[in-house]
Structure formats: C-alpha cells, structure tokens
Chain A
Amino acid sequence: MMFDLYGFGPALVAGTLMTIKLALCALALGLVLGLLGALAKTSPYPPLRWIGNVYSTLVRGIPELLWVLLIYFGSVNLMRALGEALGMNLELGPFAAGVIALGICFGAYATEVFRGAILAIPKGHREAGMALGLSRGRILWRLVLPQMWRVALPGLGNLFMIMMKDTALVSVIGLEEIMRRSQIAVTSSKEPFTFYLVAALIYLSLTSVAMVGLYFLEKRASRGIRRA
C-alpha cells in the first residue's frame, strides 16, 4: 500500500460507492430533464420554446454549488408546507437534494446537446415517418430518438464527466461521499494532503473508467456508420 490510511480505507470505499450512486441517479434525472428541455426548445409552440430557453439559460448561468445549497436549504420551508398538507413529516435529505441539484444542472447542458442532435437528423426521415402515417409520438420514439443517441453521446459523455466531478460539491451539505469521508479522515489523522490526494486519485480513476466505458458505448452506437 502506497498510503497509510489509518484504517479509513473501508470508509473511503463506501464514499466512492455513494459518489457513484449519486452520479448515476443524477444522470438518470438529468437525461429526462435534458430530453424534455430539448423537445420544448424544438417544439413548434412558442410558450414551450420559451420555457426551454429560460430553463437552460437560468441554470447554466448560476453556479452548481449555489443550486446544491439553494435546493437543500431552500426546500426546507416548501417541504414543511407540503408535509403539513399531506399530514406527513417530509424532508429532503442531502442525497435527494444532491440528485435534484446535479440533475437540474446536467439537464440544462444536456438540453443543448439533445437539441443539436435532434436538429442533426435529416428532415426527410421525419417526413418519411409522416408519409407512412406514423403519429408524432411514434415518429419521436421510433425514428428520432434511436438516431439521436449516436450524435448526442460524445456531448453527453463530456457532461457526465463534468458532473462526476461536481458530485464533490454535495459534500458541502453533508452527504457522506468521497470528499466528506476524506474530511472526516483528515480531522482525526491530521494528514490533509495524504487524504485529499487519495480522494483526487479516486476521482481520477472514476473519470478514467467513465472514459473507457464511453469509448465502447460510442463504438457500439456508431456501428454500421461509415467513417469518412
């Protein structure tokens, strides 16, 4: 072993698992939001386009850390009011707040990626679907979405990598992921450099694994596509 971890190894592993869980949950939420945002932005109805624009501009112009803090601390009153109405004791924990905040931020950037991908699909494909008598929903589901993934994948991969690093921000509201666990280890071991360096190496290996995974996903998504 390169580093003396003072018995904090298992805690760091648990933190890593928490980080992965957080990133994947936020990814799921972000993909849904991004897709909805892109559909709103490419919609023929001006009010929907307006909502899509406001969402992506507003979220992209405000720091991720501020979103994490706003959703965690700002939701307290809202959840209390909602809990009283439902007769339950509602509370947004750090994990849920982190997933929502990171998901919202990922979704805003994904909106632009998806929008570009949707626009990259030749108009003729859509018209072919209409000529075949497919409904709008079916055109979207069977024609646009399957072709869109290939174009959107590199952009989404970049965003996922950025988001994985942003998971560190959720330690600020006390979620026990890699950073928080390292902070706890630092408090008792008094070796900040060692533990933050270990944390950095964990993040490096996570992003490296994601990079390799993305390479294979892209390879699979573009099978059957001739490269110029």
Chain B
Amino acid sequence: MNWEIIIKWLPRLLEGAVLTLELLAIAVIAGLILALPMGIARASRNLYIRALPYGYIFFFRGTPLLVQLFLIYYGLAQFEAVRKSALWPYLRDPYWCAAITMTLHTAAYIAEILRGAIQAVPAGEVEAARSLGMSRAQSLVHIILPRAARIGLPAYSNEVILMLKASALASTITLLDLTGMARTIIARTYMPVEIFFAAGMIYLVITFVLVGVFRLIEKWLRVDATYNSR
C-alpha cells in the first residue's frame, strides 16, 4: 500500500466528498418533502387515492437508479420540447440531473416508509384525537404525523445511508463526486487499489457520522419512548 499517494490526493478526494454530501442533502430533504403527500395518499382508505402514487412508486422502486439517471440525463434530450423549454439549462447540467433523479428515486422509497409509519400509529390514538373533536386534517398534523415521524425515523436513516451509497452513480454522468474524483485520479496515477481504498474509507467515515447524527436525533425526539409506552 502506497500511503504517500493517498495523502497526496486526499484533498481532491475530500473535494469530491463535498459534492457527494451536497447531492445527498438535496436528495433526502427534497425527497422527504415530495414523499409526504405521496405517503399520506398511500395510507388513505380511499382506493383511488391510494392507487394514485402506486404507479410512481412501482416504477422508481422497480428499476435501477442508473436507468433512471440515464433516462433523465441522456433521455430527455431526445424531445424537441424539452430542449426548447425554460428548464433546459438545468436539465442539461449533470449536477441538477443527478439531484433531480436521486430526489425522485428516494421519494418513492420514503413514501413507502411513511405509509408504513402512518399505518403503524396505534388506532386508539387516532380515535382519541377524533373524539376530542379534532378534524381529520388536525389529527393528521397534530397526532398522526408527529407520531409517524418517530416510528419512521430509523427506516429513514437507513434510506439516507443507502442514498449516500447510491450517490456514487453520479460519477457515471461525468460528475466529480467522491467516486468520480477517485476514477479521475486513477486515470492519472494508475493506482486503483490505493485510491479506491481511500475513497471507500471516506464513505465509511461519512456513514459512521450519519449513523451517529441520526442516533442523536432519535434521542432528541425520544424515539425510544414511543416504543416503551405501548
């Protein structure tokens, strides 16, 4: 193992890690916002409302992220209308394409997590809220969602870690994220083992930090209390 090479290129790798974290942050935050209405609709008792987001979730969970990325980055250019639209400056930029695809992809998974969490809220608590005279919307905002957030948080933190690893795919559309940067450096130095090892260790460190952060959030939201009170 050639440590000098690793130390020499570490600053560039960390530069890539910043881009990775940027993409990750956009995807999991925008994805959560997009997933909220879908998850609520999926947990609806009305068949038509429930079926609406199903197709979206089925498509995004059933196909590889790489296909979705290529569909948006390379595929959209096939249409004249897209190339003439006001959004074209964004849709030809690999950065925004990666951010959009990752957001759409993770939203499908988060919606399913939300659905599971909403359905796991004890029926008695929802009934209690309704019997106190809360409207459906009020009980959703004040009782069901805060409760579902705590139930779904561990699954959401898993999804964030999965998206961190999925963000490596951004390197396939020329972005210099951590993996992309590693590939560029290897093309120059021809030291695949050392550089990929270093990149892998950076991913590991990010994973550990994220796991720690979510553990703190769980403590702060008192996620454990929701389980003890049953």
Q: Does A42 contact B (CB under 8 A)?
A: no
A61 at the interface (CB under 8 A from B): yes
Query: Known contacts A63-B167, A66-B199, A200-B68; can you find 20 more A-B pairs with CB under 8 A?
Result: A62-B165, A62-B203, A63-B164, A63-B166, A65-B165, A69-B179, A69-B196, A73-B186, A165-B65, A168-B64, A179-B64, A182-B70, A191-B78, A193-B74, A193-B76, A196-B70, A196-B74, A197-B75, A203-B62, A207-B62
- Total contacts A to B, CB within 8 angstroms? 107
Question: Among the listed A66, A190, A193, A207, which residue makes an inter-chain contact with B200, where contact means beta carbons less than 8 Å apart?
Answer: A66
The residue from A77, A169, A191, A192 contacting B70, defined by CB atoms under 8 A apart: A192
The one of A65, A73, A76, A165 that contacts B171, using a Cβ cutoff of 8 Å: A65
Interface size class of B (residues with CB under 8 A): 35 or more
Known: A62-B165, A73-B196, A200-B63. A172 touches B172 (CB 8 A): yes
Query: Considering the complex, which residues of chain A in the window 152-201 have a beta carbon less than 8 Å from any beta carbon of chain B?
Result: 165-169, 171-172, 179, 182-183, 186, 190-194, 196-197, 199-200
Q: Taking A165-B64, A168-B67 as contacts, is the C-beta distance between A62 and B204 under 8 angstroms? A: yes
Q: A227–B164 Cα gap in the complex (Å)? A: 38
Q: Which of A30-83 contact B (CB under 8 A)?
A: 58, 61-66, 69-70, 73-74, 76-77
Rounded to whole angstroms, the CA-CA distance of A172 and B179 in the bound complex is: 13
The answer to whether A196 touches B71, judged by C-beta atoms less than 8 angstroms apart, is: yes
A interface size (C-beta, 8 A): 37
Q: Mark B189-210, 1 if CB is under 8 A from A, else 0.
A: 0001100110110011001100
Given contacts A192-B70, A200-B68, contact A66 B179 (CB under 8 A): yes
Interface centre among A66, A69, A194 (most CB of B within 10 A): A66
22 contacts between A and B (CB under 8 A): A62-B203, A63-B166, A63-B167, A65-B165, A69-B183, A73-B192, A165-B63, A168-B66, A171-B66, A172-B172, A179-B64, A179-B67, A186-B74, A192-B70, A193-B71, A194-B78, A196-B74, A196-B75, A199-B67, A203-B62, A203-B64, A203-B67
